[in-house]
Chains A and B, each alone.
Chain A
Amino acid sequence: DTEVTQTPKHLVMGMTNKKSLKCEQHMGHRAMYWYKQKAKKPPELMFVYSYEKLSINESVPSRFSPECPNSSLLNLHLHALQPEDSALYLCASSPPGAANEQYFGPGTRLTVT
């Protein structure tokens, strides 16, 4: 298995809803990432997990809550989001090593109404 999968592909949620995004990889990668991407902008890093521990939080609001239950799975729990949080949410993973390339999933297109 050489890919990163993300579910759901599309998500529409109200500002009072609670939902979760899921990301999975079976490539043995030990670093996993969440990015947010707005239209015509580059991906912006949100969180990094290294060996299932949160190593980077780029000052993301607490309404986004990441979780890494095991080395293959990464979740992003969403609660009380704002319309401006609508974006493409990308998950990526990278193998152990020095300058390691990151492999991205197809993303979840999130719309907050």
Chain B
Amino acid sequence: EDQVTQSPEALRLQEGESSSLNCSYTVSGLRGLFWYRQDPGKGPEFLFTLYSAGEEKEKERLKATLTKKESFLHITAPKPEDSATYLCAVRPGAGRRALTFGSGTRLQVQP
């Protein structure tokens, strides 16, 4: 059974304090690992897709990396506007389009 586990469940940072969020996964035939950002009461906003171990993607203060068992979302010098829930999702192989989501990490960045 496909499984996605995110840690920590919640994270509070001071503005400028860099950190990483973890996404561990067990999936048969990974077709893609996705990171989303979700603000309260809104739909998830797509951030990155990673396809294979060793791949890295960057966007502003965010950098996503992928190994064979986990993905990290590194946040460098975060700002209060980075506060949100960050969701990790995987798409398994065998043509199945459905994503399996982790429970998310609720990030709060204090000024």
Stretch at the interface among B13-21, B74-82, B93-101: B93-101
Residue of A nearest to B44 (CB): A104
Does A81 lie at the interface of the complex (its beta carbon under 8 Å from any beta carbon of B)?
Answer: no
Central interface residue in A42, A43, A50, A107, by most chain B CB within 10 Å = A42
Task: Name the residue of chain A whose CB is nearest to the CB of B99.
Answer: A102
Pair A107/B42 contact, Cβ less than 8 Å: yes
A12 within 8 A of B: no
Residues on the A chain within 8 Å of B104, using CB = 42
A101 and B49 in contact, given A43-B101, A55-B97 (Cβ under 8 angstroms): yes
**B contacts with A, residue count (CB < 8 A):** 23
Residue numbers in B under 8 Å from A40 (CB-CB): 106
Give the chain B neighbours of A102 by CB distance below 8 A. 34, 46, 99
A104 → chain B, closest Cβ, in Å? 4
Tell me, in angstroms, the Cα distance from A49 to B53 when the chains sit together.
30
Q: Are B44 and A99 in contact (CB-based, < 8 A)?
A: no
A98 at the interface (CB under 8 A from B): yes
Interface size class of A (residues with CB under 8 A): 20 to 34
Are A88 and B41 within 8 A (Cβ)?
Answer: yes
Q: CB distance B31 to A98 under 8 Å?
A: yes
Question: Which of B36, B43, B101, B106 is in CB contact (< 8 Å) with A105?
Answer: B43
A42 & B103 in contact (Cβ 8 Å cutoff):
yes
Whether the pair B51, A99 counts as a contact (CB closer than 8 A) is yes
Chain A interface (Cβ < 8 Å from any Cβ of B): 4, 6, 31, 33, 40-43, 45, 48, 50, 55-56, 58, 88, 90, 92, 94, 98-107, 109
Residues of chain B touching chain A, judged by Cβ–Cβ distance below 8 Å, are 31-32, 34, 36, 41-46, 49, 51, 87, 89, 91, 97-99, 101-104, 106
